[in-house]
Amino acid sequence: MDSGNCAISKEAKIGRNVSLGNFVIIERGCEIGDNVEIGSSVIIHEGTRIGMNAVIQDGAIIGKQPKSGPRSTYRLERQKGAVIGDSCLIGTGAIVYAGTKIGSKCFIADRAGIREGCEIGEWSTIGRNVTFEFGIRVGHHTRIFANSHITEGTQIGNHVFIGPDVCTVCDKKMARDENIRTPPVIKDRSRIGCNSTILPRVTIGVDALVAGGSVVFSDVGDYQIVRGNPAEFVGYVLKRDRFKENGKD
């Protein structure tokens, strides 16, 4: 490994066959596994752990500590280092905050932003410009496509499909009176079409389908199909189209 014009703490642990681009910063307490590829202008903050065979592309920032703005009501605490699993790919300009854990073989696309306290299961994909607020849980083999905004505390299951430009919402009163956050729950194998909005307290059931452009005000039951604004029940997912029926569990 040629560290050249990079700044690497003597207290960082670097594995074998790690390649570094130009102007990489690796702070103290970081652990980088074997065969990791790190692009140029990457910053890996204190305490971050990156598994074997991972790829961190140019300009990514890993393990950033959160900072609050002057009007923020969110109580911040210092987070433990970020964890990036084996064989992950972190795209150009992506930001992964401290306190977040990303499972093995995940793909975090260019310019995605993932805040503190999130957990993403293995084999999941987070698309370009996707924004994750804090404390989100995502299962394994889930795909969330470009430009979607996932609000704080949202729970997303396994094998979920979320199309582009989807928005989830957690604050029913929109900052009037007491700000009580009640994020949605999106259960296993459900599908949400592009440009849909999922409002606070809503649960999307197992293998349910939300048609593109829908605004969902109330719960969607298992296998139900809803569409429109407000979203209305229009039928059930056919058995032949259900994820479990195809033997993909």
Q: Which residues of 51-72 are buried (b: 16+ CB within 10 A; e: fewer)?
A: bbbbbbbbbbbbbbbbeeeeee
Six-digit token string for 235: 């039928």
Please enumerate in sequence order all residues whose Cβ is within 8 A of that of 31, keeping only pairs 6 or more positions apart, or say none. Answer: 12, 13, 48, 49, 50
Write the CATH number of the domain with boundaries 1-65+77-135.
2.160.10.10
**β pairing state of 232-236 and 224-227:** antiparallel
| pTM of the predicted protein model | 0.93
Q: Residue ranges of the domains in the chain?
A: 1-65+77-135
Predicted confidence pLDDT, tens digits, the chain (249 residues): 666 799 999 999 999 999 999 999 999 999 999 999 999 999 999 999 999 999 999 999 999 999 888 777 667 789 999 999 999 999 999 999 999 999 999 999 999 999 999 999 999 999 999 999 999 999 999 999 999 999 999 999 999 999 999 999 998 777 776 667 899 999 999 999 999 999 999 999 999 999 999 999 999 999 999 999 999 999 999 999 998 755 554
